[in-house]
Amino acid sequence: MLADSFGRIATDLRISLTDRCNLRCSYCMPAEGLDWLPGPLLLTDDEVIRLARIGVERLGITEIRFTGGEPLLRRGLPTIIARTARLRPRPEISLTTNAIGLARLAEPLHAAGLDRINVSLDTLQPAVFKTLSKRDRLADVLAGLAAATAAGIAPVKVNSVLMRGINDGEAASLLRYCLAHGYQLRFIEQMPLDAQHGWRRENMVTADEILAALSPEFSLTPDEPAERGAAPAEIFLVDGGPARVGVIGSVTRPFCGACDRVRLTADGQVRNCLFAREESDLRGPMRSGATDGELAALWLRAVAAKLPGHGIDDPGFLQPARPMSAIGG
């Protein structure tokens, strides 16, 4: 098992399939984009599947989420998902995506074995979408969401990050939209993971503010059980349920004590935390002929060193060198 020294067990593996993206969300990357990882450094499909297999067969991974950068840009994604679905015991397979291209891919991905999906959608206004992401693609995202439902992927979750002065007035309209379409909305507090290092605590829209913005229009009651477990979102019943909304207070209501995640970057580095300042290379040893057992041992060591929390509130907090898009959100 992937245990750390604080007794947490990592069972949820997030694999970044690329650091590239076709949007430029300002909380993630600068308008001009970033220097993408050179192709030879990226794990091949076979390498991704080998590490996923080691995670599932030897290390107790039960859930695999593909992310990025934008994972739909990875050629052969349906094949990667199909191969993941053949691992035993079969892991739950999910995807975090901006949904551009999903209108075309939802069906093949579902047929390949994709169980669940999280789509990022921060605004319903085309002009705000363009300001926020530097691309005029809102219609593609909404079409992708609709296609996910039509393909039978369930649940379809929506992730929204609110930014002060940009889309913070849209909390209620985003919830209304998601309720009308049967999507489960979760708001995520903005974290200091942008490549530009522009995050400021005072600009962050907090979980409390999000709940306050929703409360004039919706009655929100904490969903039982109140125990969050490893799930980061605090879930609320909307107007008595069954509809729900989640709020992920990554910064103001951290859930590090219950974290069950471990990450693999697109270039084959294990990260035991989004905010880790160190990574453990699996690609190099793998390409030098390491056995499955040796790779598993390296992975175990990487997770054992996990720190108790992200420390954003510590005076000495340092943002990780890699931005969210390169780590895999």
> Where does this chain bind ligand SAM (CB under 6 A)?
21, 27-28, 67-68, 70, 96-98, 120, 159, 161, 188, 190-191, 193-194, 324-325, 329
Sheet holding 280-281, edge to edge: 220-222, 234-238, 244-248, 184-188, 156-160, 116-120, 92-97, 63-67, 12-16, 261-264, 269-271, 280-281
Q: Number of C-alpha atoms within 13 angstroms, CB side, residue 221? A: 6
290, 253 in Cβ contact below 8 A? no
Report in angstroms how near the CB of residue 18 gets to ligand SF4 at its nearest.
9
Burial group, residue 35, by CB count within 10 angstroms (0-12, 13-18, 19+): exposed
Closest to ligand SF4 by CB, 21 or 147:
21
Closest to ligand SF4 by CB, 70 or 170:
70
Closest to ligand SAM by CB, 244 or 263:
263
CB under 5 to 8 A by kind: which of ligand SF4, ligand SAM, none does 24 bind? ligand SF4
Residue 25 binding ligand SF4, by CB under 6 A: yes
Give the CA distances from residue 124 to residues 27, 30, 42, 171, 210, in Å, rounded to whole numbers and listed in that order: 17, 22, 34, 10, 17
Report in angstroms how near the CB of residue 328 gets to ligand SF4 at its nearest.
9
Chain positions 307 to 326 lying near ligand SF4, rule: CB under 6 A, are 324-325
Q: How far is CA 59 from its chain centroid?
A: 21
> Contact letters (x/-) for ligand SF4, 55-94, by CB under 6 A?
-------------xxx------------------------
- Report the residue closest to ligand SAM, judged by CB: 329
Among 17, 21, 48, 174, binds ligand SF4 (CB under 6 A): 21
328, 279 in Cβ contact below 8 A? no
> Contact letters (x/-) for ligand SF4, 28-57, by CB under 6 A?
xx----------------------------
Q: What are phi and psi of 12, to 5 degrees?
A: -110, 105
